[in-house]
Amino acid sequence: MSKSTQCMVAVALLGVAAAASAQTCPNGGARLNRNQIGNQIIGKTMCATSGNDRWQEFHQGSGDAVTGALIDYKKGPNDKVDPSQTVGSWSYSGAGNNTLLVHNYGGSATYSWAVCGSNGGPYTLVSTSGVTVTNVTVKAGQTGC
């Protein structure tokens, strides 16, 4: 995914942390807390689609990491044309059930969202602008979706 496409996807999906923390999960779903989010994303690739865009970002880290590199899988680390690339970092904001997953793509391109669902997924991401992305899945390791 090109950097401009990433930014467009990020803007479409995400907003500032304060508004996301006020978002509720659709259909009475539960928000994941910090430990649950960590267990589901650390060392795994998050997969989602929004319109014609496909999103597959690996959350580098292990154990109880609180931050790590965010790597766009693209066509894989060994692809000569479109290899995996570090595009930013991930971290948390807030605590307990108000924890937000934060992606920082550099500069002012920092986006946060509530993660809804049950352990094991699929998940729903709720942005500050009210955009809801459903059927977000997670795959073990750094892999394509």
Is residue 82 pLDDT above 90, yes or no?
yes
44-79 b/e (C-beta count within 10 Å ≥ 16 → b): bbbbbeeeeeebbbbbbbeeebeebebbbbbeeeee
Kindly report, residue by residue over 86-95, the tens digit of the pLDDT. 999 999 999 8
Given a cut of 80, is residue 144 above it in pLDDT? Answer: yes
pLDDT at 53: 79
Residue 118: per-residue pLDDT: 81
Please choose, from the candidates 46, 82, 38, the residue with its C-alpha nearest in 3D space to the C-alpha of residue 62.
38
Angle CA(80)–CA(140)–CA(38) in degrees, nearest 5?
Answer: 120
Confidence (pLDDT) at 45:
97
Q: How far is it, in rounded angstroms, from Cα 26 to Cα 16?
A: 19
pLDDT tens string 36-76: 999 999 999 999 998 887 889 999 998 888 999 999 999 99
What contacts 115, CB < 8 A, 6 or more positions away? Answer: 31, 32, 36, 37, 40, 101, 123, 124, 125
Higher pLDDT, 21 or 17: 21
pLDDT at 17 over 50: no
Residue 27 is classified by DSSP as G
For the segment 10-28, the average pLDDT, to the nearest whole number, is 56
Looking at residue 24, its pLDDT comes to: 83
Sign of the alpha-carbon torsion through 138, 140, 142, 144:
negative
The pLDDT value given to residue 130: 72
Q: Can you tell me the mean pLDDT for 3-8? A: 46
Q: What's the whole-number mean pLDDT along residues 96-118?
A: 88
- Tell me the β-bridge partners of 101: 92, 113
Provide the 8-state DSSP code for 142.
S
pLDDT at 84 over 50: yes
